[in-house]
Amino acid sequence: MDFQPHPVRQSPVPRHLGEEGTEGFLAVARLVNERNRRFWGNSDFEESPEAQLAVMQPRKAGRRVILLPEGPDPAGAAVLIVPLTDNTHAVWVDVMVDPAARGAGLGRSLLRAAEEYAAALGRRVLDGETEHRFAGPGAGADASGETGAEPAGGTGGEVLRPATGTGQIPADAPARFARAAGFVLEQVERISLLPLAGGTDFTAQLAQAAAAAGDGYGLETWTGRCPDALVSDYAILKQRMSTDAPMGDLEWEEEAWDVARVRESEATQAAAGVDLLCCAVRDLSTGALAGHTVLWVQREQPGAAMQDDTLVLRPHRGHRLGMLLKAANLQRLQRERPQVRRIYTWNAEENTHMLRINEALGFRATAWGGQWQRRLAPAN
């Protein structure tokens, strides 16, 4: 059967609910939450429309674009992230289609519209992500499968490996959709889960890391807004995070971070109801920050946390500062947010050093992510 494209329109991102574009935005918010509930089997990633809208607002570093099929009650959507201060060769796309509407070409139509939009901007690369659940006994949001266990399809079904050769994902429906659209799998991420029970204790890991670090380093902590005295150093850490973390064969440039961008990002997360629990390590000989780690807690979902960035600058590696940062911040989370019962984190499969730290802290693989990229033909 020939592909019959669906008409697609751009829907404005409202500044506030009730303004022009609200109906389309609410459709996107619903699709995002429904997809996360289906994938995880829980509400850990569910966010109110108000929280999602705060993140969708334009910023100096980038803006969001919503594409919807024509007609009322859209059963699908594409959300684009358009970088504006760096990586201006690329656009990131997320295509969502209600399961009941799949198989009729809606996803392909949305993706084609996203490609045309990106090409019209002169962008040459389209990036996207797929997620794949762990397959095995007890799989689920509270799964505790063995570290390094294969993803679904790894014990007989077809699997896909990135160009780096590290990691694999099942050749399931999301992967087939991406490949059929001309995307190339460039990197595999391991999504790991740390269940926090009453007896979970990070004292030993923290003590061992502190002994290895010695007396030349000190810890700094804050929630939300980085202290003014540290924010310039923190911006450097954020910028280095964009390239020092393994990127596989993804075509991605170093991001441009300064104090203004840090403050804008902090304000966005605060407006979205996210509390950032930050821990940084200071080189006491110079006073400069040498590394940092961040935990996210969404106030609407106080039972779950997300382990975000962890980075130690290259001159300071080899002193177990990564473990020091993570263990200290996890202890702090337990003290300040005792209702958190699960922590999720994402790491490139080739990032063996950070994966070993996570495993030592109790994280176990529960899902995988595929990082995809497609080179676009220039617009006519």
**To which CATH superfamily is domain 8-192 assigned?**
Gcn5-related N-acetyltransferase (GNAT) (3.40.630.30)
How much is the pLDDT for 149?
47
Can you give the residue ranges of every domain in the chain? 8-192, 197-340
Cβ–Cβ < 8 Å for 371, 188 = yes
How much is the pLDDT for 3?
61
First to last CA, the chain: 28
How much is the pLDDT for 62?
97
CA distance 20 to 54: 16
Return the sign of the alpha-carbon dihedral for residues 75, 142, 349, 83: positive
Q: Which fold has domain 197-340?
A: Aminopeptidase (3.40.630)
Query: What token pair was written down for 45?
Result: 């990633």
Query: pLDDT truncated to tens, each residue of the chain (380 aa)?
Result: 456 789 999 999 999 999 999 999 999 999 999 999 999 999 999 999 999 999 999 999 999 999 999 998 999 999 999 999 999 999 999 999 999 999 999 999 999 999 999 999 999 999 999 999 866 433 444 433 333 445 544 445 889 999 888 999 999 999 999 999 999 999 999 999 999 987 899 999 999 999 999 999 999 999 999 999 999 999 999 999 988 877 778 888 999 999 999 999 999 999 999 999 999 999 999 999 999 999 999 999 999 999 999 999 999 999 999 999 999 999 999 999 999 999 999 999 999 999 999 999 999 999 999 999 999 987 66
Cβ–Cβ < 8 Å for 123, 91 = yes
Interstrand relation of 8-11 and 62-69 (parallel, antiparallel or unpaired): antiparallel
Asked whether this chain's domains 8-192 and 197-340 adopt the same fold, the reply is yes
CA distance 125 to 115: 9
Q: What is the pTM of this model?
A: 0.92
User: Shortest CA distance to 344 belongs to which of 325, 360, 366, 322?
Assistant: 366
